[in-house]
Amino acid sequence: MDSPGQYEQQVVWTVVGTDIGPLLLAATRDGLVNVVFHATDATRDRALERLAARLGTEPVEAPGSPLLAEATDQVEAYFAGRRRDFDVPLDWSLISGFNRQVLRELASGVPYGQVAGYGDLAGRVGQPGAAQAVGMAMGANPLPVVVPCHRVVESDGGIGGFGGGVDTKRRLLALEGVLPEPLF
């Protein structure tokens, strides 16, 4: 016999310290659902309120949950230079349509240490000329770092914008060997 609430959505979260500041990791039973930059108290609280509103349940701090423990291990290994790819399950429920299509292509088609232009990514999903829409998809990415929107740059060689800040994007690209390490 099923217990009441057995099939309700559960959202668990933790904060991981990284070289680019604290990251909030949140997961559902289906996988990692959200990564949030600069997860200090106020930012973390706003992100958790948004998740509760979007997913219909109050997120619970649970760093020891198996999925979060694995995601934490992978994030720490990435920042230590021991991991190039993430293979935790992902919950894509916070994004849909064109944005989801672009982010899935990014996750599978732009490997560690490489970059792609906004227009190139638009072409890869069959929408040449939709570079600006790709930029919007990058800005809406609920899973930055794990779905590596930092690897998308301007066609003229510019770094482009970034939800975590341009300095954070530079540091991630330097970690992957695309840019030189910042001097300070």
**Quick check: is 81 catalytic?**
no
> What are the counts of helices (DSSP H) followed by strands (DSSP E) for the chain?
6, 6
Q: How many CB atoms lie within 10 A of CB 132?
A: 11
The DSSP 8-state label assigned to residue 179 in this structure reads S
Among 149, 152, 172, 175, the one annotated catalytic: 149
- CB crowding 41-60: b at 16 or more within 10 Å, else e: eebbeebbeebeeebeeebe
The residues assigned a catalytic role are 149
